[in-house]
Amino acid sequence: MSTIKKVAGLAGVSIGTVSHVLSGSVPVSDRLRRKVLAAIRDLDYHPNHIARSLKTNKSLTIGIVVPDMTIPFFPHVIQGAEEAARASGYSILAVNSGDNSARQQEVLSLLRSQRVEGILLVVAPGPASIAQIPRILESGIPLVCLDRVPGGIEIDTVCVEDRQAAAMGVSHLTSLGHRRIAILTGPLTLKNEQERLNGYKAALEEAGLPVENSLIWESTFNLDEVTSLCCQHLSGRSDSGANARPTALFATNGVTALGALRGLRACNMTTPEDIAFATFDELTVEDIFRPSITSVVQPAHAIGHKATEILLQRIEARSNSGPRIEVRLPAQLKIRESSGAQRTGAAGLTIP
Amino acid sequence: MSTIKKVAGLAGVSIGTVSHVLSGSVPVSDRLRRKVLAAIRDLDYHPNHIARSLKTNKSLTIGIVVPDMTIPFFPHVIQGAEEAARASGYSILAVNSGDNSARQQEVLSLLRSQRVEGILLVVAPGPASIAQIPRILESGIPLVCLDRVPGGIEIDTVCVEDRQAAAMGVSHLTSLGHRRIAILTGPLTLKNEQERLNGYKAALEEAGLPVENSLIWESTFNLDEVTSLCCQHLSGRSDSGANARPTALFATNGVTALGALRGLRACNMTTPEDIAFATFDELTVEDIFRPSITSVVQPAHAIGHKATEILLQRIEARSNSGPRIEVRLPAQLKIRESSGAQRTGAAGLTIP
DNA sequence: ACGGCATCTGCAAACATATACTCATAGCCG
DNA sequence: CGGCTATGAGTATATGTTTGCAGATGCCGT
């Protein structure tokens, strides 16, 4: 691998001159610049980013920790982050935590060893995951939490307007005449899930409906657990009366949504026929498939992009002090078939 | 940020000893090891991977270039690669090329500056993209092409058994009695697409059916182009006769599949009612949605995993010489509704 | 007491680069 | 034509780590 020294040798200039041509921080005469550039081409020289980082103490890299890249939401977030980062000359190091506290610890350590200049974190559930954050901040590495907001900690966050978004989805269901609407949440230790639950409550109240604890189903981010929990709640209920089965179901995230749909199938129920359904997050981007799911969709790309902008701002400021930044981005309600607002035709591809 | 020197100071040992504790390459007494580890904890020390890389000339990083992380297939590949890499202590740097030759050039340069020890490449279409490969190999960086096989170049490759896989999908359609089966391919400059086409031809021949050029529709990886091309081919054909509309359609990849489905919808056709449909690649993981699509599914995870193993092997061997390795992994046929093998019930969630 | 061994220290030389600094050269004006 | 000023070239040092080596220390058995 060619070095700056070889380039200097071939171009007949000093190492410093090559460096100046590369960085542009010091003017170099056209004659020498051309010779240097020619040497760079001839040698297929690529500046050693490692040595540069060591010298300048800038890795030009930021890390992003997501639960699982294969969940469609996160690649969009990562891509948003990557675009914002690239615009400032930064690269992205993306790693999975598997929503596992121990693994999150590992990857955060890895990122710190790699000397990333900032970290974007979709925090794993559990207090242990949150406990890892302060040390990082203390060490001077800016960290922005995105998508999920950890409780009990002062930290920059970027996510969707959970309360309003959930209320929007639930209001859609109440406006369709539903009076018994169940909500299927993830762990309520996460502020977002709480906020979404609050949005649900607000929407019910606004519609003059009571909030029943028996219709609030708290679950986890484990698909199998969600499925069986949902199934359990749906079966063994009468069709009417005080303990009647809900006529609509709202899921607060993509995982519980998928679990809910699987649960419905396991209980031999269809949507929207047997129960109206709406959810946070898109399950499949394509409107080609049926039943199309009424969703409150998050601006995934924008979340990643905005979080990165904030992070870069903190990096530039070289300080984690200053007021905490909390960005809430608006979601969008996409009304489709599963909520029963549109009637669905025969199976197969149809024109909506 | 604490350094190895500070750790040594706090632990009351020499720098060398700390290094030895960290690397494990030289035995250290238990007493000192404990003191060192305590100091590391107290100082929240994280070894400077950058300095280590510079000294050892090993970045312990491999790069992976994919067209677009938001296409569901690729995160699985990346995750497979990540697991294999992690098992050997390597990290993954994943970047998008946007299926764009110029951008691919940029990201490859970036990876070389980052001094990745090897590169996994899903090559962008076009000869310019392929032309970038030899320089990298010459510079001593192993490179494995995965998913897509570039033509006219000797290189390690890992992908699916394209021919057999396509033949399997098409045979499924012939076995259902279809005699006019169209194929919608991506750019035939890619060997895989050619091979899939060959599989199609072989399956037709085996079923005693003629290969008609008018039923071979070559397209691109651009969704809109595929959609309009498909629509164009489907409309303006009589229902019978020599130029009759095909009764079945096979798409050779996820992009053309999506384009095909959109095209069908635009032409006001449904599947499997108006035309049977099968494809390479899964469009949505969940079987919950209708119409469920009969697919030849690729072992995405395994492709990433295997490619990384080969790459690590080349890295270890410190040489790109030796015989070229070509791994072909088997695909799996998932028969669902769109091919018409199962009859589909009413829309909505049903038990299959 | 002493050799041998295991363990540890301290030092120095890299690794490839950036940068502040010094030095050289050329142009220019008086 | 001499000295001054720009401007550009060259040089030395530092970054955090690994690694090898020479020497120091302490402990054990003889």
CB A210 within 8 A of CB A223: no
How many angstroms separate the CA of A115 from the C1' of C23? 37
Residues 32-91 of A with CB under 7 A from strand C: 47-48, 51-52, 54-56
Please give the pLDDT value at position A238: 62
Q: From CA B4, how far away is CA B9, in angstroms rounded? A: 9
- Consecutive H or E run containing B119: strand B118-121
CB B172 within 8 A of CB B278: yes
Q: Which residues on A lie below 8 Å from B110 (Cβ)?
A: 91
Please give the pLDDT value at position A86: 95
Tokens coding A182: 């169940």
Please give the pLDDT value at position A344: 42
Contact check, Cβ <8 Å, B265/A258: no
Tell me which of A178-192, B2-16, B305-319, B337-351 is least confident. Answer: B337-351
Select the residue from A6, A50, A141, A223 to test the B interface by mutation, using most B Cβ atoms within 10 A.
Answer: A50
* A159 beta partners: A328
**Shortest CB distance from B69 goes to which of A75, A93, A273?**
A75
Nearest CA in chain B to A343: B347
Contact check, Cβ <8 Å, A270/B349: yes
pLDDT tens digits, one per residue of B194-208 = 999 999 999 999 999
Distance (Å) from the C-alpha of residue B293 to the closest C-alpha of chain A? 10
Tokens coding B268: 């006001």
Nearest CA in chain A to B260: A288
Distance (Å) from the C-alpha of residue A205 to the closest C-alpha of chain B? 30
Select the residue from B57, B70, B74, B110 to test the A interface by mutation, using most A Cβ atoms within 10 A.
Answer: B70
- Consecutive H or E run containing B15: helix B15-23
Instruction: Give CA separation, B246 vs B208, B238, B241, in Å.
Output: 16, 10, 11
pLDDT tens digits, one per residue of A85-116 = 999 999 999 999 999 999 999 999 999 999 99
Please give the pLDDT value at position B190: 84
Question: What's the whole-number mean pLDDT along residues B37-49?
Answer: 90
Q: Which nucleotides of D are covered by protein (CB under 7 A)?
A: 7-12, 14-21
Q: Which nucleotides of C are covered by protein (CB under 7 A)?
A: 6-12, 14-20
Percent of chain B whose pLDDT exceeds 90: 63
Task: Name which of A228, A217, A222, A221 is nearest A181 in CA terms.
Answer: A217
- Is residue B350 pLDDT above 50, yes or no? no
Please give the pLDDT value at position B352: 37
Listed as ranges, residues in chain A with pLDDT below 70 are 236-243, 285, 342-352
Residues 8-67 of B with CB under 7 A from strand D: 15-16, 18-20, 22-23, 25, 47-48, 51-52, 54-56
Nearest 5°: the CA angle B165, B166, B167 is: 90
Residues 40-69 of B with CB under 7 A from strand C: 51, 54-55, 57
Report if CB A31 to strand C is under 7 Å: no
Contact check, Cβ <8 Å, A49/B113: yes
Q: Which residues on A lie below 8 Å from B272 (Cβ)?
A: 348
Report if CB A14 to strand C is under 7 Å: no
Main-chain dihedrals φ then ψ at residue A256, nearest 5 degrees: -65, -30
pLDDT tens digits, one per residue of A21-78 = 887 777 777 888 888 888 888 889 999 999 999 998 999 999 999 999 998 899 999 9
Q: b/e for A79-112, b at 16 or more Cβ within 10 A?
A: bbbbebbbeeebbbbbbbbebbbebbbebbebbb
Going by the DSSP 8-state scheme, the letter that residue A295 receives in this structure is E
More confident residue, B14 or A350: B14
Report if CB A25 to strand C is under 7 Å: yes
pLDDT tens digits, one per residue of B80-91 = 999 999 999 999
Total beta-carbon pairs less than 8 A apart between chain A and chain B: 163
- Helix, strand or coil, per DSSP, at residue A333: strand
pTM to 2 decimal places: 0.89
- Is residue B351 pLDDT above 50, yes or no? no
Evaluated on CA atoms A173, A176, A179, A180, the torsion sign reads: negative
**Which residue's structure tokens are 């990346």?**
B78
How many angstroms separate the CA of B176 from the C1' of D29? 87
How many angstroms separate the CA of B33 from the C1' of C3? 28
pLDDT tens digits, one per residue of B222-252 = 889 999 999 888 886 666 666 678 999 999 9
Q: Which residues on A lie below 8 Å from B79 (Cβ)?
A: 69-70, 96
Q: Which residues on A lie below 8 Å from B283 (Cβ)?
A: 284, 286, 289
Q: Which residues on B lie below 8 Å from A76 (Cβ)?
A: 70
Q: From CA A196, how far away is CA A331, in angstroms rounded? A: 12
Q: From CA B327, how far away is CA B94, in angstroms rounded? A: 22
Please give the pLDDT value at position B242: 61
More confident residue, B135 or A244: B135
Instruction: Give CA separation, A280 vs A82, A299, A328, in Å.
Output: 24, 11, 15
- Is residue B345 pLDDT above 50, yes or no? no
Q: How far is CA A141 from the centre of its chain?
A: 20
Q: Which amino acid is at A252?
A: T
